Amino acid sequence: MISYITGTIRNLTREPGRAVVIAGGVGYEISLPTYVYQSLANDGIREGSDVELEIYYHVTERQPKPMLVGFRHPTEKQFFEQLIQVEGIGPAKAASALVFPVSTIASAIETEDLGSLQRLPGIGSRAAQKIVATLRGKVAATALLQDAGISEQGQTSPTASDARSEAIEALVTLGYRPTEAQEKIDDVIRRTPDVADDLQELMREVFKAQVSAQE
């Protein structure tokens, strides 16, 4: 079983998030959640770059072809392993759902923010309820990661401009029109300028506004 890999990126694609990493003369095809791909891109890691990844290795009798999912920090991998314990959420669905930092998703779980969870790709109302029922109370430490000042491996704090751009890009990934995404982020920055350089807080404020509008 493979749990960690270090090597050189030969191929890197965003849609779908995937990397081929050469290690010891062997090329490993690794699925990358959107958030992990964006993290690599933000740090200037591209084809030809060296990379270190935590690996979730999945293979079953029904799916004999191994599936490798890559993460930049053990905490991300741990959260992923918790997420796939939820009924109906396998590794492929969980990987596609991770479009935000795990602390942001964990925070939505702990606060029972079903509206935010339903914005994740492949997660409907029933799945969101199952996630909260299964994981609430178990991911509090993950939700507090950024608040506690723990930075993810290889990541740096973005500037206000970077955070705004990344937040807009994340909303577009979730299906918002670019102009709509820009309006939502700019509205948050106008109302709460102190979160302008914090990607996770920007996204939380967007989700809060979304939930309030539905009430």
Which tens digits make up the pLDDT trace of 33-65?
988 998 898 889 999 999 999 999 998 777 778
pLDDT digits (tens, 9 = 90+) for 92-136: 999 999 988 888 899 889 889 998 899 899 999 999 999 999 999
Question: Per CATH, which fold does 160-214 belong to?
Answer: Helicase, Ruva Protein; domain 3 (1.10.8)
Q: Where in the chain is the domain with CATH 1.10.8?
A: 160-214
* Long-range residue pairs from 124-131, CB within 8 A, at least 24 positions apart, any chain: 127/86, 127/88, 127/89, 130/86, 130/87, 130/88, 130/89, 131/83, 131/86, 131/89
Q: Where in the chain is the domain with CATH 2.40.50.140?
A: 4-143
Burial of 106 (0-12, 13-18, 19+ CB in 10 A): buried
* Domain 4-143, CATH among 2.40.10.10, 3.40.50.300, 2.40.50.140, 3.40.50.720: 2.40.50.140
What is the distance between the alpha carbons of residues 97 and 210, in angstroms, rounded to a whole number?
A: 19
